[in-house]
Amino acid sequence: MKEYELTVLIHPDLEADLDKALDKVRAIIKDADGEIVSEDNWGKKKLAYTIKKEDFAVYVYFDVKLPASAPLKISNTLNITDEVLRYLLVLADEKGRALLAEDKKRASERRETDEVKGEE
């Protein structure tokens, strides 16, 4: 199974009852034999351009593990799901993730060093 990143833009009117729409997306992933590694709700944001006569959407990001046949199934299903304005499903960039983790590590080491110097 390969790791993917899925970002889903949910219709803004569903913000009050977001769990119902997200349960539908989770079910689509699980029905395709996928596994959700993590989920992050980024909240309601203004869109760069109007999509289906909407100026805002609720952004939700998923890290998922999918078998080879799943991306096509998920894409076909999300295309006809009313709650989803737009989605993006891409392979996870392992090199990019490694660089981000390394940058975070360096930043925390710098903070620790600066704190020690401040105490002296």
Domain 2-93 matching CATH 3.30.70.2740: the answer reads: no
Q: What are phi and psi of 70, to 5 degrees?
A: -70, -40
Q: Region 40-66: what's the mean pLDDT?
A: 94
Closest CA to 12 of 76, 64, 60: 60
Please state, as a whole number, how many other Cβ atoms lie within 10 Å of the Cβ of residue 104.
10
Model pTM greater than 0.75?
A: yes
- Contact by Cβ (8 Å): 14, 20: yes
Q: Region 16-27: what's the mean pLDDT?
A: 92
| The predicted structure's pLDDT at residue 31 | 94
- pLDDT, one tens digit per residue, over 63-120 is 999 999 999 999 999 999 999 999 999 998 888 778 878 888 888 888 877 777 666 5
